[in-house]
């Protein structure tokens, strides 16, 4: 007896062709193009993140300078170093205000200990001490940075209430990454009463 086995469907060389099918050159090129576009866009996002990280320190310094000015005004009121009528910008003749108008270089406080007042003119520029390579402030490797690229403006405006004034502190500064100056604004209110 003889048995015969027959394969139903595809047989011979055409069966081998079905198993050996792969990607065409066009499909590979299209997938490479899509992958390249994705990687290039990821590099762009990475570069933007790096630029933002590098300006974070300057942004933090601007915020600290604004808060420092606001705190000195409140402290002067609390300790009664100045009277209520002096908490305003220098105006025309006879104005009792002591705070300078317009953008000013960041300087050390004058003899009254209050930032950006009329007696700060001859004060030394303010500096900031940053930790050195060891990461500890107060050691011999600390880095002293001048704040020459920062300017501060304190604007004090009257409100409808005679016992309340609005304080707006603007810090204008430049960073190496941007062509135009950046600005940080801090606003608040101060009352005559403690």
> Would you say residue 130 has pLDDT above 90?
no
pTM above 0.75, yes or no: no
* pLDDT for position 8: 57
Closest C-alpha to 68, from 171, 179, 192: 171
Residue 143: C-alpha distances to residues 65, 127, 133, 138 (Å): 18, 10, 9, 10
Q: List, in sequence order, every residue forming a beta bridge with 165; answer none if it has no partner.
A: 158, 190
In angstroms, the CA 41 to CA 49 distance is 13
Q: Based on the number of CB atoms within 10 Å of its own CB, is 169 exposed (0-12), middle (13-18) or buried (19 or more)?
A: buried
> Would you say residue 6 has pLDDT above 70?
no
* pLDDT for position 27: 87
> Would you say residue 37 has pLDDT above 90?
yes
Query: Could you read off the pLDDT of 142-190 as tens digits, one per residue?
Result: 999 889 999 999 999 989 998 999 999 999 999 877 778 999 999 999 9
Closest C-alpha to 127, from 109, 144, 103: 144
Pairing of strands 150-158, 164-173: antiparallel
Query: Could you read off the pLDDT of 38-96 as tens digits, one per residue?
Result: 999 999 888 888 877 778 888 999 999 999 999 999 998 998 888 888 898 988 555 78
Q: Kindly indicate the confidence band of residue 15, based on its pLDDT and cuts at 50, 70 and 90.
A: low
DSSP secondary structure code for residue 11 in this structure = -
* pLDDT for position 67: 96
> Residue ranges of the domains in the chain?
57-191
> Would you say residue 10 has pLDDT above 60?
no
Q: Based on the number of CB atoms within 10 Å of its own CB, is 73 exposed (0-12), middle (13-18) or buried (19 or more)?
A: buried
Q: Kindly indicate the confidence band of residue 112, based on its pLDDT and cuts at 50, 70 and 90.
A: confident
């Amino acid at each position: 007896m003889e048995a015969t086995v027959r394969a139903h469907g595809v047989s011979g060389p055409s069966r081998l062709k079905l198993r050996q099918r792969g990607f065409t050159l066009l499909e590979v090129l299209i997938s490479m193009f899509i992958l390249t576009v994705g990687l290039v866009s990821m590099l762009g996002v990475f570069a933007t993140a790096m630029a933002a990280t590098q300006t974070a320190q300057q942004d933090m310094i601007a915020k600290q300078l604004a808060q420092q000015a606001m705190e000195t005004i409140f402290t002067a009121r609390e300790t009664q170093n100045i009277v209520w009528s002096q908490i305003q910008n220098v105006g025309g003749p006879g104005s009792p205000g002591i705070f300078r108008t317009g953008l000013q270089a960041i300087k050390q406080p004058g003899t009254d200990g209050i930032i950006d007042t009329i007696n700060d003119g001859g004060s030394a520029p303010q500096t900031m001490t940053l930790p050195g390579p060891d990461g500890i402030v107060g050691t011999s490797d600390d880095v002293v940075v001048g704040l020459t690229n920062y300017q501060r403006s304190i604007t004090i405006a009257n409100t409808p209430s005679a016992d309340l004034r609005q304080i707006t502190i603007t810090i204008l500064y430049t960073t190496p990454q941007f062509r135009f100056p950046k600005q940080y604004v801090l606003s608040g209110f101060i009352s005559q009463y403690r």
